[in-house]
């Protein structure tokens, strides 16, 4: 089972808004919705993973113990930061891209 923190839920909304207002190359609303849906599908798939990679970036560690890297394209990676519950469920805490990770 996958659960989402209020921060992660807000991240989805912020990603959508960011994609449609991106100055370099804004996406149509429909395309942006599909993009965010793709991220959501990846988040849901984490529960099927056998191995969980520990966070290594300090900015990630403040949100959770584990990270899954979703390589959307050659320039963009989405880091899905999460914790495991006592029953091994996934609790996604934060979704952040590589551009914000390196700041």
The pLDDT value given to residue 99: 81
Residue numbers in the chain where pLDDT is lower than 70? 102-103
Fold of the domain spanning 2-101: YaeB-like fold (3.30.2310)
pLDDT tens per residue across span 46-59: 999 989 999 999 99
pLDDT, residue 58, reads: 92
pLDDT at 83: 98
Segments making up each domain of the chain, as ranges: 2-101
pTM: 0.91
User: What is the structure's pLDDT at 100?
Assistant: 80
Strand 77-84's sheet: what is its strand order? 2-4, 90-97, 77-84, 66-71, 53-54
End-to-end Cα distance, the chain: 32
pLDDT of 32: 96
């Amino acid at each position: 089972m996958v659960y989402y923190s209020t921060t992660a839920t807000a991240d989805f909304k912020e990603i959508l808004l960011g994609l449609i207002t991106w100055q370099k190359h804004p996406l149509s609303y429909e395309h942006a919705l599909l993009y965010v849906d793709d991220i959501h599908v990846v988040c849901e798939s984490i529960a099927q993973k056998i191995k969980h990679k520990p966070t290594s970036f300090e900015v990630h560690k403040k949100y959770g113990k584990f990270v899954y890297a979703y390589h959307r394209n050659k320039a963009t990676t989405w880091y899905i930061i999460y914790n495991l519950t006592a029953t091994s469920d996934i609790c996604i805490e934060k979704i952040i891209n590589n551009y914000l990770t390196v700041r």
